[in-house]
Amino acid sequence: MPDNREQFKNLLKQNGLKVTSQRVAILEVLSSRPGEHLTAEEIYDFVRVEYPDIGLATVYRTIQMLSELNLIDKLNLDDGYVRYEISKFDKEESCHHHHHLICLDCGSIGTFQDDLLETLETRIKELLGFEVVDHEVKFFGHCIKCRGE
Amino acid sequence: MPDNREQFKNLLKQNGLKVTSQRVAILEVLSSRPGEHLTAEEIYDFVRVEYPDIGLATVYRTIQMLSELNLIDKLNLDDGYVRYEISKFDKEESCHHHHHLICLDCGSIGTFQDDLLETLETRIKELLGFEVVDHEVKFFGHCIKCRGE
DNA sequence: TTGGGTGCAAAGGCTTTGCATGTGA
DNA sequence: TCACATGCAAAGCCTTTGCACCCAA
């Protein structure tokens, strides 16, 4: 998406960051795979197809930057890898992330959008005085495919 | 709690594991600090007060075992440490864990028990055919203490 | 020109593993 | 006795960092 790419370049400039081919390529890899949850190593492998000379350290550094710019979301499944996916919203609006449905059988990662948690967050604020600004929800279970088998 | 300690010893025996003073001591440390979320290193430091000769590897191995026996729960805050706390239920009943309220200001970790998520889980099953068996929920925000300051 | 970015390799830091010794049952 | 558990140290493994070179602006 050339439009998004322009937005990205502007965002970099706005933050005093330089537009490099590596950064564009890494965002491109993530943008072209929405819903996939890639590890740094996997991103590295995808980017190397176009940029064989890129270093893994650059991937890590760019990932960190993209995360701070809220362009990508982190997902930790406690398997030793941190995974990343492109955010649905480019700006840092008060967007609550979707929930992840992790299949214990095949390892697939589904998603689910819901606003029921806001009820919960209101209740937490009323009962405990804790003001929620973000949340992270993971559901573990069996996906429809694995249940059928 | 001498009663819980007996239960623990029996559980070990039932699983063909030996009752050692190190294992008892480690569970004791976690049992006596409910609601605290200790790293392996912290557990190690506490246990060493009574057992100065214990090895860090033993702590890691015991933690893993306790986790498999569902006696302790894992908590990952993505800060490089995995934390552990004693489970509320000794047996592996269908107990859904409590939610964690993580203060972005002071780092304190509160908890919240709720069953609203079951509604959500029912909806997920109906809409997507995904059968939830466990979940993990973290809320990030500002605790009542930090909000007052 | 010039300060941030990159690649490479080395270092970091939590966790796991190998192995000889120790110890519950 | 003997299989499992422990301690110590080394190895693993993902990630970060140092540094010289490079390149957008």
Work out the angle between the directed axes of helices A2-14 and A21-31 (0-180°, nearest 10): 130
The pLDDT value given to residue B13: 95
User: Tens of pLDDT along A16-69?
Assistant: 999 999 999 999 999 999 989 999 999 999 999 999 999 999 999 999 999 999
At B137 the three-state DSSP class reads strand
Rounded CA-CA distance A15/A9 in Å is: 10
Is the pLDDT assigned to residue A95 strictly greater than 80? no
Instruction: Say if residues B47 and B55 touch (Cβ distance below 8 Å).
Output: no
Instruction: Say if residues B97 and B136 touch (Cβ distance below 8 Å).
Output: yes
Question: Is nucleic acid strand D under 7 Å from A101's C-beta?
Answer: no
Is the pLDDT assigned to residue A96 strictly greater than 70? no
Domain ranges of chain B: 1-93, 96-149
Instruction: Say if residues A95 and A88 touch (Cβ distance below 8 Å).
Output: yes
Is the pLDDT assigned to residue A110 strictly greater than 60? yes
Q: Where are the alpha helices (DSSP H) in chain A?
A: 2-14, 21-31, 40-50, 56-68, 117-128, 144-148
Instruction: Say if residues A131 and B142 touch (Cβ distance below 8 Å).
Output: yes
Is the pLDDT assigned to residue A90 strictly greater than 50? no
Q: How many CB atoms lie under 10 A from the CB of residue B34?
A: 11
Higher pLDDT, B121 or A96: B121
Residue A88 pLDDT class (50, 70, 90 cuts): confident
Is the pLDDT assigned to residue A140 strictly greater than 90? yes
CA of A17 to C1' of C5 (A): 9
The pLDDT value given to residue B149: 82
The pLDDT value given to residue B123: 95
* A116 to B121: CB separation less than 8 angstroms, yes or no: no
Residue in B128, B127, B99 with CA at minimum distance from that of residue B113: B99
Question: Is nucleic acid strand D under 7 Å from B62's C-beta?
Answer: yes
Is the model's pTM score more than 0.85?
Answer: yes
The pLDDT value given to residue A114: 86
Instruction: Say if residues B101 and B111 touch (Cβ distance below 8 Å).
Output: yes
Task: Specify the fold of A1-93.
Answer: Arc Repressor Mutant, subunit A (1.10.10)
The series of mean pLDDT values per 10 residues for chain B, 149 residues long, is: 81 96 97 96 97 97 97 94 86 67 94 89 96 95 94
Instruction: Say if residues B91 and B52 touch (Cβ distance below 8 Å).
Output: no
| DSSP per-residue letters across B84-124 | EEE-S-SS--SPPPPEEEEETTT--EEEE---THHHHHHHH
Residue A4 pLDDT class (50, 70, 90 cuts): confident
Residues 33-52 of A with CB under 7 A from strand C: 51
Q: How far is B85 from chain A (nearest CA, A)?
A: 16
At B53 the three-state DSSP class reads coil
The pLDDT value given to residue B95: 58
Q: What is the mean pLDDT of chain A?
A: 92
Q: CB of A131 within 8 Å of any CB in chain B?
A: yes
The pLDDT value given to residue A147: 96
Highest CATH level, class, for B96-149? alpha beta
Is the pLDDT assigned to residue A92 strictly greater than 50? no
CA of B134 to C1' of D9 (A): 38
